[in-house]
Amino acid sequence: MSVFLDNAATSFPKPDAVYQAMDAAMREVGVAPGRGGYRQSLAAARIVFEARSALARFFGVSDSSRLVFTHSATESINIAVFGLLKPGDHVVSTSVEHNALSRPLHLAAKRGVEVTFVPSEACGVVSEQDIARAMRPNTRLVALAHCSNVTGAVQPIAGIARVARQGGALFLVDAAQSAGFFPIDVEQIGIDLLAAPGHKGLYGPPGTGILAVGPGIVLEPLQVGGTGGSASNPEPPEQMPERLESGTINTPAIAGLKAGLEFIEATGLDVIRARETALVDQLLAGLSGITGVRLYGPLQGERGAAVSFNVEGHDPAALGYLLDSEYDISVRVGLHCAPDVHRSIGSFPEGTVRVSPGFFNTESDIDFFIKALREIIS
């Protein structure tokens, strides 16, 4: 029995329709969208258009041309950070960010942007009031992850959106762990820039991501090149999404992402979240019953589907190795690309064992994992 419990990294497996859509797009369309007037290219463009429209609807983006396809949440965040910020601007972020956001901010700081990392409480949640206190007259951006990939802690983004707006700043949300888990309506919440991966909760393939850019926000592109139209202009086009999407788009991957979203809509976000939450509750109960286990992050209330723990006297890396080699259970160990989170919760430098169930896991997967862990540490 092989058990995959690393859905916070990339969801696996995908719904069958995702594999089928990618296969069909490769075989039947398989060309660059928007680069030719012939039927095959138009069919590719239709897939991309329909995927863009569906994702825009899903995230409450009324103008779908402002939803850009990228390769990952990381790329989306980089486009937002470097496309927006100038030397002298100030950014408010937090001490519990993934490197996908903290590294771009550290690099921006080297280039003359001021950055404040607001510390979190012990459970990994950041208070709206602390964000408000960090705001300055030159704060151009408030940027943070909606949900932690280490602790599952959820930030109060609606309140933080109001703080950002009142302070005249834009609000960038890294929804890597919340897209496809919590409902997110960018216009209702007041999110100006939403970065999300396609390959986690949206069930698309690796190498997909999106960036939603609010009305009127003009970002400098990170890369420029061919966009299909406006070819005689040496400058990148003004119009979206072309401005931020130069180069040939990965149509088969986007076809897969579209099928992933259709799966979510057909199944129901509430149903998906309820199932994953039940698995997380089972996991937390099972782990709490093991002597020597220390759990991190919120133990009750609203949380995401990543659960981190350590076992007294055991190295997390060794536990992960034994779970894989002896039981064929895939979990992630170490810092999970988020060292600052571990510094905040007290698990730096060795990190934690992270278990992240997904929609396709079962109760018996969790039972098997708990039994395996008990055997390893006994």
Ligand X SMILES: Cc1ncc(COP(=O)(O)O)c(C=O)c1O
Residues marked as catalytic: 337
Longest Cα–Cα distance in the chain: 70
| 66 vs 98, beta carbon nearer ligand X | 98
**Least CB distance from residue 100 to ligand X, whole Å?**
3
- Report the distance separating Cα 96 and Cα 102, nearest Å: 9
Q: Binding segment for ligand X among 71-79, 244-252, 256-264, 270-278 (CB under 6 A)? A: 71-79
**Least CB distance from residue 7 to ligand X, whole Å?**
10
Q: Binding segment for ligand X among 38-46, 173-181, 239-247, 327-335 (CB under 6 A)? A: 173-181
Residue 177 interacting with ligand X (CB under 6 A) = yes
| 174 vs 192, beta carbon nearer ligand X | 174
**Least CB distance from residue 287 to ligand X, whole Å?**
21
**Least CB distance from residue 322 to ligand X, whole Å?**
24
Structure token pair of residue 83: 């496309």
**Least CB distance from residue 143 to ligand X, whole Å?**
11
Residue 227 interacting with ligand X (CB under 6 A) = no
- Report the distance separating Cα 81 and Cα 99, nearest Å: 13
| 174 vs 245, beta carbon nearer ligand X | 174
DSSP per position, 322-372 = HHHHHH-EE-EEE-TT-HHHHHHHT-TTT-EEEEB--TT--HHHHHHHHHH
DSSP state of 219: P
Binds ligand X by CB under 6 A, chosen from 73, 179, 280, 284? 73
Binds ligand X by CB under 6 A, chosen from 61, 100, 132, 373? 100
Residue 340 interacting with ligand X (CB under 6 A) = no
| 7 vs 41, beta carbon nearer ligand X | 7
Binds ligand X by CB under 6 A, chosen from 61, 80, 145, 191? 145
Residue 308 interacting with ligand X (CB under 6 A) = no
Binds ligand X by CB under 6 A, chosen from 125, 176, 287, 311? 176
Strands of 214-253, DSSP E: none
List binders of ligand X among 180-219 (CB under 6 A): 197, 209
Please name the amino acid found at residue 140. R
Strands of the chain, DSSP E: 3-4, 67-70, 90-94, 114-118, 139-145, 170-174, 193-197, 209-213, 293-296, 307-311, 329-330, 332-334, 352-355
Residue 178 interacting with ligand X (CB under 6 A) = no
Cβ count within 10 A of residue 283: 23
**Least CB distance from residue 36 to ligand X, whole Å?**
30
Enclosing H/E stretch for 23 = helix 16-24
Residue 98 interacting with ligand X (CB under 6 A) = yes
| 29 vs 101, beta carbon nearer ligand X | 101
Phi, psi of 212 (to 5 degrees): -100, 130
Reduce the secondary structure of 253-275 to three states and give it as a string: HHHHHHHHHHHHHHHCHHHHHHH
Number of residues lying near ligand X (CB under 6 A): 13
Q: Binding segment for ligand X among 172-180, 240-248, 251-259, 282-290 (CB under 6 A)? A: 172-180
**Least CB distance from residue 106 to ligand X, whole Å?**
15
- Report the distance separating Cα 311 and Cα 317, nearest Å: 11
Binds ligand X by CB under 6 A, chosen from 7, 14, 174, 279? 174
Helices (H), 186-327: 186-189, 251-267, 269-288, 316-327
SS3 content of the chain, % helix, strand, coil (to 5): 40, 15, 40
Residue 149 interacting with ligand X (CB under 6 A) = yes
The residues binding ligand X (CB under 6 A) are 9, 72-74, 98, 100, 145, 149, 174, 176-177, 197, 209
